């Protein structure tokens, strides 16, 4: 394009950016006011349901050509930056850096939050429990591999609440220093990631040994130190550890999602599109499995998940984890839970939180 055409167009862009900047500051000032109002009423500053409603409203309203998919990431950062004006938000996650849990935490909290990697799921819970982090992010289930039992077990001894869920599409990439397939002499990763790429590995690297390590991020770190090793890890790990992509998306089943939970100390208010997670143990009686689900079916409450875990204090007794649609503040949900409670030895509401959209 000729310079004489480019000049005026760039001046136009500068003027628009000036207006956007002014509006960003105007928005930040209003968010600070909201922060003061909430502090007066002892309300949580971070409200994931409000943020989701903002993403949804703007994506639906957008008439283009600005891409609808980009609205969420742009607004994620605007909101993250506005929130950091109030009090830098500290979020603990299951590390190390560049794990899929890190990617999920970034997706939920944006770049202005302080994300702190911790070594274990129990360390994440403890950090939040002790008030050293506002929130914690832990994995809870994968669409191919099932539940992360350690996360569910943590709720048995913890009073933390689930305040949000995050759905993340998992994409496994093969990463190495050179980025060349012919130089790969071993493949390192978390056993689940290796299992999820088995067919691709058999077809493309049949002779190469596979090495299990504790996380995909640790595998990426090892690949930086050994040029004959390739790691299966996230795209974020490639940029974080300065590795090249040998091959992107090598998982055998491309339909691979992990669900993460955000834990905090209070239950968020009703958003209208919520889910509730509860855990309970029932008395050992005939017909009890049937009866424990009846309070929900007769009120047409949709159940999205049921899991059982052994109750460690007593052999052959179980704790059930149930996810249902609705909020504990919905009368039908509250009634159903109260009815179920009458058959239970123990019941705990883990939280009501906005339902995530992939």
Which residues are identified as catalytic?
A: 258, 260
Report 51-80 residues binding ligand ISJ (CB under 6 A).
Answer: 51, 54, 79
Distance CA 33, CA 192 (A): 46
Q: Look at residue 121 and give its three-state secondary structure.
A: helix
> Quick one: 27 or 291, whose CB is closer to ligand ISJ?
27
Say if CB 280 and CB 155 are below 8 A apart.
Answer: no
Q: Which of 71, 83, 98, 337 binds ligand ISJ (CB under 6 A)?
A: 83
Rounded-to-integer distance, Cα 209 and Cα 41, Å: 59
Residue 237 found at the interface with ligand ISJ (CB under 6 A): no
Return the number of the residue (55 or 343) whose C-beta is nearest ligand ISJ.
55
Q: How far is the CB of 58 from ligand ISJ (least distance, A)?
A: 11
Q: Where are the beta strands (DSSP E) in 143-295?
A: 146-147, 161-169, 173-176, 186-189, 210-212, 229-233, 244-247, 257-264, 274-282
Nearer to ligand ISJ among residue 18 and residue 87 (C-beta): 87
Tell which positions 15-34 bind ligand ISJ, by CB under 6 A.
Answer: 31, 34
Rounded Cα distance between 89 and 304, Å, is 31
Residue 330 lies near ligand ISJ (rule: CB under 6 A):
no
Q: How far is the CB of 31 from ligand ISJ (least distance, A)?
A: 4
Q: Check binding of 50 to ligand ISJ (CB under 6 A).
A: yes
DSSP 239-259: HHHT-EEEES---S-S--EEE
Stretch of residues binding ligand ISJ (CB under 6 A), selected from 48-56, 108-116, 285-293, 298-306: 48-56
Among 71, 82, 319, 324, binds ligand ISJ (CB under 6 A): 82
Q: What is the dihedral of CA 206, 212, 216, 217, to 10 degrees?
A: -120
Binding footprint of ligand ISJ on the chain (CB under 6 A) = 31, 34, 45-47, 50-51, 54, 79, 82-83
């Amino acid at each position: 394009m000729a310079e004489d055409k480019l000049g005026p167009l760039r001046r136009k862009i500068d003027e628009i950016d000036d207006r956007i900047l002014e509006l960003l500051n105007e928005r930040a000032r209003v968010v600070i006011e909201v922060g003061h109002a909430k502090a007066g009423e002892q309300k949580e500053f971070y409200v994931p349901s409000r943020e989701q409603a903002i993403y949804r409203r703007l994506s639906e309203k957008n008439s283009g050509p600005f891409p609808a998919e980009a609205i969420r990431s742009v607004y994620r950062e605007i909101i993250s930056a506005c929130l950091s004006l109030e009090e830098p938000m500290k979020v603990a996650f299951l590390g190390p850096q560049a794990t899929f849990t890190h990617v999920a935490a970034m997706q939920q909290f944006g770049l202005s939050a302080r994300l702190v990697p911790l070594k274990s799921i129990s360390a994440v819970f403890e950090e939040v429990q002790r008030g050293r982090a506002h929130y914690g992010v832990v994995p809870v289930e994968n669409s191919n591999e099932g539940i992360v039992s350690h996360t569910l077990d943590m709720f048995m001894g913890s009073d933390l609440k689930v305040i949000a869920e995050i759905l993340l599409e998992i994409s496994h990439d093969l990463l190495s220093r050179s980025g060349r397939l012919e130089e790969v002499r071993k493949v390192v990763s978390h056993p689940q990631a290796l299992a999820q790429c088995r067919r691709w590995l058999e077809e493309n690297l049949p002779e190469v040994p596979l090495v299990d390590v504790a996380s995909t991020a640790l595998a990426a770190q090892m690949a930086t130190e050994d040029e004959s090793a390739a790691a299966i890890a996230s795209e974020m790990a490639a940029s974080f550890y300065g590795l090249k992509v040998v091959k992107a998306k090598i998982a055998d089943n491309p339909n691979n999602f992990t669900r993460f939970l955000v834990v905090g100390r209070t239950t968020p208010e009703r958003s209208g599109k919520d889910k509730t997670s509860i855990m309970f143990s029932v008395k050992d009686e005939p017909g009890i499995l049937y009866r424990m689900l009846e309070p929900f079916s007769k009120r047409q409450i949709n159940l999205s998940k049921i899991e059982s875990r052994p109750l460690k204090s007593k052999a052959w007794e179980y704790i059930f984890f149930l996810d249902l649609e609705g909020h504990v503040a919905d009368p039908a949900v509250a009634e159903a839970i109260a009815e179920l409670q009458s058959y239970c030895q123990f019941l705990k509401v883990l939280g009501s939180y906005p339902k995530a959209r992939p």
